[in-house]
Structure 1
Amino acid sequence: MHPIFLRIGSLAEIHAATATMPLERGRRVIARTGRGIELGEVIGPCRDPNASVKSQVTVVRGTTDEDELLIRRLNRHKREAIQLCRTALAEAGSKACLLDIDQIFDGGTLLMHFLGPADDIATSITQEIAKKYESIVRSRHFAKLMQDGCGPDCGTAEGGGCGTSCSGCAVAAACK
């Protein structure tokens, strides 16, 4: 295993992570975190061997051209969700201030970051926006393939690695 640091989320949180191969700085990767499957960027190697042991973040694989297309689509919908939410908050008279939204790679999970506490109006509006976003994106099936490939732990050491059992795997090309 190769311990590395990843930058994840709109707040650019830095996490210690493990990867099955060395990865260069700036490489975009798909990582499994406590929140789900997320996009991350490699910051560099982690020289503290204990940091990656404590980490619950693992690199699934580097991004593919198909991932980058999906990411652009998700970002477009994310920008629309941010604008819609900010407009709805202002129209409703809420004092809540939406800073940004993190979207998990499944496309159906939004995590909204507010400056200060969110009031009841903001909570109601964000729930409505999240439902609308999920109905538009509908990427859960694709995300399941990204996570599982042709079976649980596909493309990981636990799953036997890519190319060991099926050449038609949805993620096999990314694991090479």
Structure 2
Amino acid sequence: MRFLGVLTATGGRQYQRGASVIARTDRGLEIGEVLCQSDDDVLQWMKDPTEGQILREMTEEDARDLERIEARTPEELDTCQRCVENLKLSMQLVDIEHIFGGERIVIYYLAESRVDFRELVRTLASEFQTRVEMRQIGVRDEAKLLADYGDCGCAVCCNSHLGQMPPVSMRMAKLQKATLDPTKISGRCGRLKCCLRYEFDTYEKMQKELPSIGTSVITEEGPAKVIGHEILTGQLSVMTEDRRRLLVDVAE
């Protein structure tokens, strides 16, 4: 799981954007990527950012350690799955995250209801000889963990730049006149695409500048009633008194 954080560099060192670094956070020793210099403008967009210290740049030895950790993850996931089945727990394992310093293993899972995983944690802690943390996630978080690219060809938003994932409604798709085909407006998580939110506020603001649906207007063809909006082009779909449908500019 990716977390945005505001970390200070020890010794006043400077790090270039994109540099892989070793940092100490409240979770332990972690590997991170430098995004940018932080200032007040950046902080106002971040809610409860992770805090900590950047200790140094990642070395070749660190990279080899990371490869070893990643190589044994599938086997550890199989071990977790076997324990879940033995304990007959109603949960779906999604992923395992190793804190680089070995302080803990975080296990992400899906479940429809509360799960008593105390016995599972004891078993796994004994098996892996480290602290085990269970974290229940939703389907959108699952995509954030595992998905790579969306059907737009770009990296999925939740795994590239979104720190938070506010809800997306069908109204947002309808207002932007997006297709309502679920297969085309759903993301990798199976829920409505996060990008439907990006321009929604602009569409909503522009719509407020147009006459409401049902409003009577005067056009070059005579009196008519507004039956729809073409928000981006600033046009109205109207019906005249003789039941003709017209598309007219708001300026008219």
Verify same fold: TM over 0.5: yes
Structure possessing the higher radius of gyration over alpha carbons: 2
- Per the TM alignment, residue 79 of structure 1 is displaced from its structure 2 partner at its CA by 2.8
- Per the TM alignment, residue 50 of structure 1 is displaced from its structure 2 partner at its CA by 8.7
Alignment of 1:89-100 (within 5 A): 89-100=84-95
Amino acid at match of 1:119: V
Counterpart position of 1:40 = 32
The percent identity for this pair of structures is 26
Amino acid at match of 1:16: V
- Per the TM alignment, residue 63 of structure 1 is displaced from its structure 2 partner at its CA by 0.8
More helix by share: 1
Amino acid at match of 1:97: Q
RMSD across aligned positions (CA): 2.7
TM-score (norm. length: structure 1) = 0.58
Is 1:82 equivalent to 2:72 in the alignment? Answer: no
Alignment of 1:96-107 (within 5 A): 96-107=91-102
Aligned pair count?
123
User: Which whole-Å CA distance do the structure 2 matches of 1:97 and 1:57 have between them?
Assistant: 32
Counterpart position of 1:61 = 56
Partner of residue 21 from structure 1, selected from 8, 13, 35: 13
Structure 1's unaligned 5+ residue stretches are 1-10, 136-176
Closer/same/farther in 2, CA of residues 23 and 30 from structure 1, 3 Å limit: same
If asked which structure has higher relative contact order (CA below 8 Å, sep 6+), I would say 1
User: Which whole-Å CA distance do the structure 2 matches of 1:47 and 1:73 have between them?
Assistant: 36
User: Which whole-Å CA distance do the structure 1 matches of 2:53 and 2:67 have between them?
Assistant: 23
- Per the TM alignment, residue 28 of structure 1 is displaced from its structure 2 partner at its CA by 1.4
Is 1:12 equivalent to 2:2 in the alignment? Answer: yes
- Per the TM alignment, residue 38 of structure 1 is displaced from its structure 2 partner at its CA by 1.2
CA contact (8 A) 2:6 2:52 kept: yes
Closer/same/farther in 2, CA of residues 118 and 26 from structure 1, 3 Å limit: farther
- Per the TM alignment, residue 25 of structure 1 is displaced from its structure 2 partner at its CA by 2.7
